[in-house]
Amino acid sequence: MHQAGGETPDWPQGKRYALHHAIIAGDTAYGSWRDGGLTLLDVKDRTQPRLISHRNWSPPFGGGTHTALPLPDRDLLVVLDEAVLDNQEDGES
């Protein structure tokens, strides 16, 4: 969020909408956004990334998107969520 530029949060309190990290394969960046899900960006022009797709499965699931691992030779993308509390207390909404 760019508060200095006038952006204001519009998401529920208690959610973690922060980029955990991105992995770049070819011209695509795969971003894992914790409770914000998965974002794919076209980064062919690194100065002007363009949205390809966004998917968030929280809710109904708890979020915690940790890693998006592209396997381009197999035409697959493996996406993992991370739970850190016992008994999946952070893994269900």
Number of structural domains found in the chain: 1
Q: Which domain holds residue 26?
A: 14-83
Q: Tokens 């929280």, residue?
A: 58
> E strand or H helix at 41, and its extent?
strand 38-42
In a domain, 7, yes or no: no
The end-to-end CA distance of the chain, in Å, is 24
pLDDT for residue 73 is more than 90? yes
Query: Would residue 90 count as lying in a domain?
Result: no
Q: Is residue 61 part of a domain?
A: yes
In a domain, 91, yes or no: no
81 compared with 58, residue with greater pLDDT = 81
At residue 84, the 3 state secondary structure works out as coil
User: Does 89 score more than 70 pLDDT?
Assistant: no
**89 or 11: whose pLDDT is higher?**
11
Average pLDDT, the chain: 87
pLDDT at 1: 65
In the predicted structure, residue 41 carries a pLDDT above the cut 70: yes
